[in-house]
Amino acid sequence: MTDRPGLSYASATILQALSAGYIYGYTAMEATGLPSGTVYPALRRLEGDQLIRSQWERPSAADAALRPPRRYYKLTRSGETALEVLRKRHPLLAKLAPNEEVQDV
């Protein structure tokens, strides 16, 4: 299904944030201004709908930086298609500035 009528505006904003390079849960929170209690369940729901997929960061990269590994999220092909539809419906989504600090994970 490409039109995804069930996706809320919050889910659309999160999809747009991930697409703009805010690939971690907390950075997506910062970009969208949504609270953690909204963002993390939404990420799980979107992953369940196969619009995004998540993966843990490589332990070697995290160990080298002396920090715990993080889970990052990426849009799937159907997620990108859904986001295209949502952008037409919510033109303000495009105003979300892309993240210029996207790291290679």
Partner 1 sequence: MTRAWLPHAILRAASLLAPSEQRAEWLNGWRSELWYIPPHRAARFCLGAFRDAIWVRRNSERPARRTAFRFESPLSCLAFLTFAATVSGAIVVCLPAPDTVGMLLIFAPTLLPARLTIGWGASRRRPAPWPNRLRRGIFLLLKRALVQPVMLCGFAAMIRIGPAAALPTQLANYALWFLTLRWALSDQRNRCPVCLRLLTEPVRMGAPSQTFLEWYGSESACSRGHGLLQTSEMPASYSAAPEWHRLDDSWSGLFPPAAEVRQR
Supply the minimum distance, in Å, between the C-beta of residue 39 and partner 1. Answer: 7
Site for partner 1 (CB under 8 A): which residue of 38, 76, 78, 81?
Answer: 38
Supply the minimum distance, in Å, between the C-beta of residue 15 and partner 1. Answer: 11
For tokens 């070697």, the residue is: 60
58 binds partner 1 (CB under 8 A): no
Q: Which is nearer to partner 1, 4 or 99 (CB)?
A: 4
- Segment lying near partner 1 (by CB under 8 A), choices 22-30, 72-80, 83-91, 97-105: 22-30
How many CB atoms lie under 10 A from the CB of residue 15? 27
CA distances to 67, 75, 101 from 18, in Å: 22, 7, 13
Q: What is the dihedral of CA 22, 53, 84, 81, to 10 degrees?
A: 160
Cα 79 to chain centroid, rounded? 10
Where do contacts with partner 1 occur on this chain (CB under 8 A)?
1, 4-8, 11, 24-26, 29, 35-41, 44-46, 48-49, 67-71
